[in-house]
Amino acid sequence: MSTLHPGYATRQGTESYAGAFGAGCAPGHYSDFLNLHLKLSSLGVGTFPGAATDAVDEAYAGVVASAARAGINVFDTAPHYRYGRSARALGAGRAPAGAGGRARGGDVRGGGGLARAFAAGVAREHVFVVAKGGFLAFPDGVPADLDGWFDASIAARGLGTRDDLAGRHLISPAHLAAQIDAAREALGLATLDAFLLDQPEVHVPAIGKERANRKIGAVFEAFETAVHAGKIRCYGVATFDGLRVETDAPPFQSITSLLGLAERAARTVAGDARHAFRIVQLPFNQAMPEGFTRFSQATGQGNVASSIQAAHQLRVYVMASHVLGKGMFARQCADALAAATPGLANHAQRALQFARSTPGIGTSLAGVSTPAHLDDLLAVARVAPLAKAEYLKLYARAGEP
């Protein structure tokens, strides 16, 4: 195993970062990460989109390095993104050679984006790096014989069985623990700031909510163990449907219930209920506003709230994904949003502003693999988020004041 870069995001480090590298960003650009008081940028770089090519690897590395020097200190990836290449392009150092000494794709010549940023004066303590797991990762591309690959690469290694599989998503403690280590190695980081269980709701149609929750609870025990081992600082879930649908929909995820599973996991691992569940991630954009508008979460505090509001009440940090709607909102936007953001240059900037201005959302993630898209991200960082009153007017019906 290669040498891993030590450290993690700290209060002092992120506050120093905001004052130095974020000096050109507008007031309101940094969010406070719960009781840890980390200063996290309201916009972050995701690494999902793009072909699995050397050119895209190099583009991601350059974008990450430039973003980190310009006030963006949140970065998101996963072992399965672009067959593992995204994490290495983001990373703080070269990944080890693949099987038989063969270097895998994603070993960027100039070093990953974080490696370049660190060389330019950004410190490990300045940046918050999120990885997520659950989906099968195919470092050499999707195998022709998927069943044979699963038997050799997963079942034979004790990482899971077919009963743990839903499509290409595997939910077992051993698999998620292995993906934490894979992400650490690919990123070159000894400690990940956060690790998220990605889309656990995909298992509900096959095995039901109760059994799925038991599996989630077992994975949380693996995450709590990783926290105590210093491999991750905190954990959470990334959802697609789970925090947007109605309460009675099968994929629905209750934040209160997830926190209960985390408390139980912490008791099992460490003997007390002080868990490290800190983050939820959900899609949010002009066509998918349900996390803010749909009141579906019973908080246990005497009220029913939207997922974003409930997370705030329960001290869980919210990250928005899909803020550009896979590029759709770079080409179009709602008339009310265009009218509310006359100073922004294009629809992509308006979409970013819409998400990061939403009360309760801490960081909005956008997949950024080209300098032009980074320009949009940084342009928005240099203007203040919409004031709450102006933001709420976007939801007014036609004719309302």
Please calculate the CA angle 127-381-8 and round it to the nearest 5 degrees: 5
Terminal C-alpha separation, the chain? 61
Question: What residues does each domain of the chain span?
Answer: 11-393
| Domain 11-393 of CATH type 3.40.50.300 | no
DSSP 26-75: PTT-EEEEGGGTEEEESEEEE---S-SSHHHHHHHHHHHHHHHTTT--EE
Ordered per-residue pLDDT tens for the chain, 401 residues: 458 999 999 999 999 999 999 999 999 999 999 878 899 999 999 999 888 899 999 999 999 999 999 999 999 999 999 989 999 999 987 444 333 333 355 566 668 999 999 999 999 999 999 999 999 999 888 999 999 999 999 999 999 999 999 999 999 999 999 999 999 999 999 999 999 999 999 999 999 999 999 999 999 999 999 999 999 999 999 999 999 999 999 999 999 999 999 999 999 999 998 999 999 999 999 999 999 999 999 998 888 999 999 999 999 999 999 999 888 888 999 999 999 999 999 999 999 999 999 999 999 999 988 888 999 999 999 999 999 999 999 998 644 55
Tokens for 122? 């950004």
Alpha helices in 168-203 (DSSP H): 173-187
| pTM reported for the whole predicted model | 0.94
Of 109, 103, 171, the residue nearest 136 (C-alpha):
171
The total number of residues shown for the chain amounts to 401
